Amino acid sequence: MSGPLQGVRVLDLSRYISGPYCSMLLGDLGAEVIKIEKPVVGEESRTMGPYAGDVSLYFTQYNKNKRSVTLNLRSGQGQEILRGLIQQSDVLVENFRPGTLDAMGLTQKVLDELNPELVVTSISGFGQDGPYRDRVAFDCIAQAMSGLMSLTGEEDGTPLLTGTWVVDFVSAIYAALGTVSALYSRRNTGEGQRIDVSLLDCISSLLATTVPLYTTSGVVEKRWKNRDKVTAPANAFKTRDGYIYIHAGTQPLFSRIVKIIGQPELIDDPRFDTVSHRMENIEAVEEAVQKWAQELTTAEIDYLLSKSGIPVAPISDIPGVVNNPQIQHRKVFEYMDYPGAGKISINGITLKMSKTPGEIELRPPLLGEHNDEVYNGLLGLKADEIQRLQEQGVI
């Protein structure tokens, strides 16, 4: 593998999104990632839709740049093999419930004895300690408990989840950041450490000013729907053929948009002459923009405002995203032929690094595709030993 993490070996024991996305990010940066899966059935996400042919797109989306080996972690021989892999690895990523590694005999003391330089990245719903430590959580549970759902949706409507698994993804990014930081620290100390990542912690850290507003004044922030919280006009506006998002809330931007919409006098209107006044009269200033926007197409507005330096974007559906020329130019999505699925899309390399760029070197693996490569090449097991372990259901 190329990239800044070349030479780093990661054992991925995780499932679903947060852990696999974390280890995939490390793989995108050049780490060698070995994904450990259950024999025969594989990691749980292989059975989750949507599908292309008989292939789970849920699995392929979060598992590029990895090798797959099968291993029965409930068997004694399987645990011995895992310990051998731990001794030759730099990072272990897991998102079991707290205490699961201990129950497998892999306490922190044992891990330190096996490999004192090992970085263990543990992702869980609520962290490795605290009163909710043993509760089960998914992304939606963290969105609910963190208050994010209470901030999302119509002002008097039902609290809403976001349109994607934002908690899982941000937790994965935090976990990858923690892992890289621990690897950097190891260069100075020679020691690994445990990274404790909580879904609830991660998403709660992104609540912006809602928490300090409440703790200092007792004010509970209302839902802002699609509006910006601090400036106006900044909202989604209906056009002649769709919707567009316009952000002209700062003073320089507002002075430009009032000219474009043909109402330059609004800049001196006492209702709109400052940001705070526009926030006090937010519906009136939005109405002025809306009356103008509804007479034009989305493309016309996008052209007029973008050339004037006003932040603007059509509200795209997924076909619009896939066909967006900027997204295509940046290779946000890559395409490949995949066994049993035909042509599929996966995430490209998001981080663009000038000196040590990552690349897609491995497509998402087939189940156990790299058993021989890893067990022979890394652990020195002979072909007949590997065959025997397969027959015994160990791998």
DSSP reduced 3-state for 346: strand
- The active-site residue out of 12, 28, 90, 168 is 168
User: What is the chain's alpha carbon radius of gyration, rounded to the nearest angstrom?
Assistant: 25
Nearest CA-CA partner of 26 in 201, 199, 189, 175: 175
CA distance 232 to 266: 13
Amino acid 95 reads N
What's the length of the chain?
Answer: 395
C-alpha neighbours within 13 Å on the C-beta side of residue 214: 8
Structure tokens at 137: 């959580």
CA angle, 193 then 381 then 104, to 5°: 40
DSSP, residue by residue, 184-215 = HHHHHHS---EEEEEHHHHHHTT-TTHHHHHH
CB 35 within 8 A of CB 23: yes
Contact 121, 22 (CB under 8 A): yes
- What are the residues facing 337 on neighbouring strands? 343
Residue 381 contacts by C-beta under 8 Å, 6 or more apart in sequence?
A: 375, 389
Task: Report CA-CA distances (Å) from 389 to 77, 346, 384.
Answer: 9, 33, 9
C-alpha to C-alpha distance for 391 and 395, rounded to whole angstroms: 8
Residue 168 a catalytic site member: yes
Give the tokens for residue 216: 């200092």
CA distance 80 to 333: 39
12 in helix, strand or coil? strand
Helix, strand or coil, per DSSP, at residue 314: strand
Angle at CA of residue 238, ends 235 and 243, nearest 5°: 80
Give, to the nearest 10 degrees, the angle between helix 18-28 and helix 166-189: 50
CA-nearest of 28, 26, 61 to 43 is: 61
Two structure tokens written together for 147: 């208050």
Residues annotated as part of the active site:
168
